[in-house]
């Protein structure tokens, strides 16, 4: 492991590879305990999470549902609950995966907020967007989608005196692969520190369908490239990112790409700058 690998892994609190099923089980219990602790400490009883159809929201959602079920049993308080929210922009091309995720999660409540009206309305009012090339505008509006989705989740959480869950994990954090104040904004992030294959391992252990566990990850924010794979945006694979974070050898090209991207996206992982 290089000094930079060790430095970055420590900064992101990367969880070591699971040694065996006992370690995997222990990590699942630790994550559920964390969720329960945050809720109890907040004095609130509702959790909210947007469900995309990808393995990250599927895993965080199932952990949240299990956590509130345990809280209801432990406290006798039926007010603890989890709300899973679909947040499509018009019709989502992989809606079937999102619906399969909801069936697996079995949330206390499912909700749907179509963000297209809000995104389009804002786009019509922000004249600066009209001056951009089609490709640049598509990218900027993609970030608007991520931020509007989080606005919707916080609105639901506020209405129910609840907290919003985020799905960020170490393999995305190292690449800065989230929208600042969009999907990067949340009250608690129960997948933090995990690499991608660990998220998949937890999902698989919890009984998630294999087609969701191994689904090609995509932020799916760009209209011109619907379903664009994360790995294409990264320039490296998740397997290479995971290996890097776990101190394993990767190609010189992958190493350079990961370190450069980590350094360039530092501002996303920090609080706003102040004097």
Say what the pLDDT of residue 61 is. Answer: 98
Quick one: CA torsion of 239, 200, 60, 29, rounded to 10 degrees? -110
Say what the pLDDT of residue 146 is. Answer: 96
Strand (E) or helix (H) holding 267: none
Q: What residues contact residue 260 under an 8 Å CB cut-off, 6+ apart?
A: none
Say what the pLDDT of residue 180 is. Answer: 93
For residue 60, is it left (φ>0), alpha (ψ between -120 and 50) or beta? alpha
Are β-strands 81-86 and 109-112 bridged in parallel, bridged antiparallel, or unpaired?
parallel
**Whole-angstrom distance, CA of residue 265 vs CA of residue 271:** 13
Helices (H), the chain: 3-11, 21-42, 55-75, 95-105, 116-125, 134-159, 170-173, 196-205, 210-213, 230-234, 238-245, 252-264
Q: Which position has the token pair 């101190």?
A: 247
CA 16 to chain centre: 20
Tell me if residue 48 falls in helix, strand or coil. Answer: strand
**Whole-angstrom distance, CA of residue 133 vs CA of residue 224:** 12
- For the domain 16-224, what is the CATH superfamily, name and number? HUPs (3.40.50.620)
* Residues with a known catalytic role: 56, 172
Say what the pLDDT of residue 226 is. Answer: 84
Say what the pLDDT of residue 75 is. Answer: 97
Give the full edge-to-edge strand order of the sheet including 162-164.
Answer: 109-112, 81-86, 46-50, 162-164
Say what the pLDDT of residue 220 is. Answer: 82
Task: Show me where the domains of the chain are located.
Answer: 16-224
- pLDDT tens for each residue of the chain, 275 residues long: 789 999 999 999 999 999 999 999 999 999 999 999 999 999 999 999 999 999 999 999 999 999 999 999 999 999 999 999 999 999 888 899 999 999 999 999 999 999 999 999 999 999 999 899 999 999 999 999 999 999 999 999 999 999 999 999 999 999 999 999 999 999 999 999 999 999 999 999 999 999 999 999 888 888 888 888 999 889 999 999 999 999 999 999 999 999 999 999 999 999 898 99
109 to 67, 83, 86, 100, 149: CA distances (angstroms)? 15, 5, 11, 15, 18
């Amino acid at each position: 492991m290089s000094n930079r690998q060790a430095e970055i892994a420590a900064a992101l609190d990367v969880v070591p590879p699971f040694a065996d099923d006992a370690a995997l089980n222990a990590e699942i219990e630790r994550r559920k305990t964390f969720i329960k602790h945050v809720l109890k400490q907040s004095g609130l009883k509702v959790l909210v999470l947007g469900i995309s159809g990808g393995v990250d929201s599927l895993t965080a959602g199932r952990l949240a549902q299990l956590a509130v079920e345990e809280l209801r049993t432990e406290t006798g308080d039926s007010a603890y609950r989890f709300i899973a929210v679909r947040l499509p922009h018009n019709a989502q091309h992989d809606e079937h995966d999102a619906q399969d995720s909801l069936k697996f999660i079995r949330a206390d409540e499912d909700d749907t907020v179509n963000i297209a009206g809000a995104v389009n309305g804002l786009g019509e009012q922000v004249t600066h967007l009209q001056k951009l090339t089609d490709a640049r505008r598509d990218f900027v509006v993609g970030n608007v989608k991520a931020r509007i989705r989080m606005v919707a989740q916080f609105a639901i959480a506020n209405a129910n005196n609840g907290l919003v869950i985020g799905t960020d994990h170490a393999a995305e954090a190292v690449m800065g692969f989230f929208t600042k104040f969009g999907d990067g904004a949340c009250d608690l992030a129960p997948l933090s520190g995990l690499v991608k294959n660990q998220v998949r391992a937890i999902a698989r252990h919890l009984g998630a369908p294999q087609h969701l566990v191994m689904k090609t990850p995509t932020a799916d924010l760009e209209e011109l490239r619907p379903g664009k794979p994360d790995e294409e945006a990264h320039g490296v694979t998740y397997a290479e990112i995971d290996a890097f974070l776990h101190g394993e050898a990767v190609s010189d090209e992958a190493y350079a790409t990961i370190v450069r991207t980590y350094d360039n996206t530092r501002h996303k992982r920090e609080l706003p700058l102040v004097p």
